[in-house]
Amino acid sequence: MTPQEAAVRLEAALAALDRQDETTEADSAPVELDQTSVGRLSRMDAMRVQAMAMAGRQRREMERRRIHAALARIAAGDFGYCVNCGEPIAPRRLDLDPALPNCVQCSSGGG
């Protein structure tokens, strides 16, 4: 995978994360605590949905940071090299996830 191909995939992944944020935005809304309009179980369910939406947003934010770091490596000319040891990352590994920062050896704790 060339750096340009990786950049296209990474930008598409960022766009997909943005779409996911838009579709789950309503789930993150504050939960109404008025017991006359919403029952206790409904409130508990809404709070659970809210917590899951917040956790999802945090995971997407972590993924955004990984993608932005990969795009920065592409811009710097360091794409495809392990950030720990500097050795090339296996092309098949980058095909699976172009945002990976480490070679197999360093990812498994051997580097």
Q: For tokens 């972590």, what's the residue?
A: 62
Domain annotation covers residue 49: yes
Q: Per the domain annotation, does 7 fall within a domain?
A: yes
In a domain, 89, yes or no: no
* 80 pLDDT above the threshold of 80: yes
pTM (two decimals): 0.76
Three-state secondary structure call for residue 103: coil
- Give the number of domains in the chain: 1
Mean pLDDT of the chain: 87
- Would 109 be classed as within a structural domain? no
Distance CA 68, CA 72 (A): 6
The 10s digit of each residue's pLDDT in 22-68 is: 887 665 555 555 555 556 677 778 788 888 888 999 999 999 999 99
